[in-house]
Amino acid sequence: MANWTQTSQKRLQSILSVETWLPDTMPEYAQGFMYMLGSLTASSFVVLVISGLVLAANGPASWSYNGAMRFVAATHFWGVQAFFFFMMLHLWRVFFTGAWRGGRGLTWLVGSIALLLAIPTAFTGFLINGDLYSEWNAVQAKDGLNALGLGWVNLTNAGQMFGMHVIVMPLVLAFFIGLHITRVRLKSVVPPYPDKSSPETRIQMRERGR
Amino acid sequence: MMDDVVHDYRMVPEDFVKHLTVTLVIVVIVVLVASMLFSVPEAKPLTIKQYAETNPVGFEEVALRALDGQGRIANYGPPYNHGTGNVESGIQQMVGILHPINAAQDFVLKPLAMAASINPAIRPPLKTFTHASRSRQVFWESQLSLALGHAYQRNGRVMLPSGEYGPLAPLLADTLNLGRSGLMSGALIRNSQVVTRFDNQNYLMFLQGAPLHGAVTPLQLKGTQWGIIHPAVKGYPGAWWMTIPTWIYQWPFVANSPANDAIALFLGLLAWLLLALTPWIPVWNQVPKWAGVYRLIWKRYYQEHQKPSDRLGDQGGARSVRSS
B81 and B196 both lie in a single domain: yes
Using CB atoms, which residue from B86, B227, B323 is nearest to A102?
A: B323
List the beta strands (DSSP E) in chain B: 11-13, 152-154, 157-159
Range of the domain at B87: 48-214
Give the pLDDT of residue B199.
93
Look at residue A44 and tell me if it is in a domain: yes
Q: How many domains does chain A have?
A: 1
- pLDDT, tens digit (0-9, with 9 covering 90-100), for B216-243: 999 888 888 888 889 899 999 999 999 9
Residue ending a domain, among B276, B292, B318, is: B276
Helix axes A37-58, B16-38, angle to 10 degrees: 50
Secondary structure (3-state) at A149: coil
Q: Of A11-20, A101-110, B38-47, B100-109, give the lowest mean pLDDT range.
A: A11-20
- pLDDT, tens digit (0-9, with 9 covering 90-100), for B116-146: 999 999 999 999 999 999 999 999 999 999 9
Q: How many domains does chain B have?
A: 2
Q: CATH number of the domain at A63, please.
A: 1.20.810.10
Query: What would the DSSP string read from start to end of B36-101?
Result: HHH----PPPP-HHHHHHH-HHHHHHHHHHHHHT-STTTT--TTT-S--TT---HHHHHH--SS--
Look at residue A140 and tell me if it is in a domain: yes
B207 and B247 both lie in a single domain: no
A113 touches chain B (CB under 8 A): yes
Of B48-52, B262-266, B300-304, highest mean pLDDT: B48-52
Residue ending a domain, among B173, B189, B214, is: B214
B134 and B76 both lie in a single domain: yes
DSSP-derived pairing of the beta strands B11-13 and B152-154: unpaired
Look at residue A23 and tell me if it is in a domain: no
Give the pLDDT of residue B221.
86
What CA–CA distance (Å, rounded) separates B254 from B248? 7
- Spatial CA neighbour of B212 closest among B73, B117, B89, B82: B73
Cβ contacts (< 8 Å) between B222 and chain A: which residues? 140
**Exposed e or buried b per residue across B39-63, where buried means at least 16 C-beta atoms within 10 angstroms of its C-beta:** bbbbbebbbbbbbbeebbbbbbbbb
B226 and B168 both lie in a single domain: no
Contacts by residues B265-270 (CB-CB < 8 Å, ≥ 24 positions apart): B265/A144, B265/A147, B265/A148, B266/A148, B268/B244
Look at residue A82 and tell me if it is in a domain: yes
Element (DSSP H or E) covering residue B125:
helix B123-131
Look at residue B302 and tell me if it is in a domain: no
A78 pLDDT band, cuts 50/70/90, is very high
Q: What is the DSSP letter of A157?
A: B
- pLDDT, tens digit (0-9, with 9 covering 90-100), for A143-165: 999 999 999 999 999 999 999 99
What average pLDDT does the segment B12-26 reach?
Answer: 96
B198 and B89 both lie in a single domain: yes
B43:A132 CB<8 A: yes
Contact B289, A193 (CB under 8 A): yes
Look at residue A128 and tell me if it is in a domain: yes
Give the pLDDT of residue B317.
41
What CA–CA distance (Å, rounded) separates B264 from B245? 7
What CA–CA distance (Å, rounded) separates B213 from B207? 9
Range of the domain at A187: 33-191
Question: ∠A41-A46-A47 over CA atoms, to 5°?
Answer: 95
Contact A142, A156 (CB under 8 A): yes
Cβ contacts (< 8 Å) between B22 and chain A: which residues? 36
B190 and B245 both lie in a single domain: no
B112 and B89 both lie in a single domain: yes
A34 touches chain B (CB under 8 A): yes
B6:A194 CB<8 A: yes
Instruction: Calculate how close chain B gets to A17, using CA atoms only, in Å.
Output: 15
B94 and B202 both lie in a single domain: yes
Give the pLDDT of residue B323.
37
How many other CB atoms sit within 10 Å of the CB of residue A174?
15
What CA–CA distance (Å, rounded) separates B56 from B176? 7
How far is residue A190 from each of residues B138, B237, B274, measured CA to CA in Å? Answer: 70, 33, 21
A197 pLDDT band, cuts 50/70/90, is low
Contact B11, B314 (CB under 8 A): no
Cβ contacts (< 8 Å) between B318 and chain A: which residues? 25
Give the pLDDT of residue B211.
96
pLDDT at position B312 over 70: no
Query: Could you give the percent of chain A with pLDDT greater than 70?
Result: 92
Look at residue B283 and tell me if it is in a domain: no
- pLDDT, tens digit (0-9, with 9 covering 90-100), for B167-204: 999 999 999 999 999 999 999 998 888 888 899 999 99
A184 touches chain B (CB under 8 A): no
Look at residue A117 and tell me if it is in a domain: yes
A197:B306 CB<8 A: yes
Give the pLDDT of residue B318.
42
| Rama region for B121: left / alpha / beta (φ>0; ψ in -120 to 50; rest) | alpha
Look at residue A27 and tell me if it is in a domain: no
Using CB atoms, which residue from A135, A148, A195 is nearest to B207?
A: A135
Give the pLDDT of residue A206.
54
A75:B94 CB<8 A: no
Look at residue B32 and tell me if it is in a domain: no
Please give the mean pLDDT across all residues of chain B: 90
Q: Percent helix, strand, coil in chain B (nearest 5)?
A: 60, 5, 35
Look at residue B121 and tell me if it is in a domain: yes
| Residue B130 CB burial class (10 angstroms; 0-12, 13-18, ≥19) | middle
Give the pLDDT of residue A199.
54
Helix axes A132-147, A105-127, angle to 10 degrees: 130
Look at residue B236 and tell me if it is in a domain: yes
Residues 6+ apart with CB under 8 A from A105: B279, B280
Look at residue A142 and tell me if it is in a domain: yes
B159 and B144 both lie in a single domain: yes
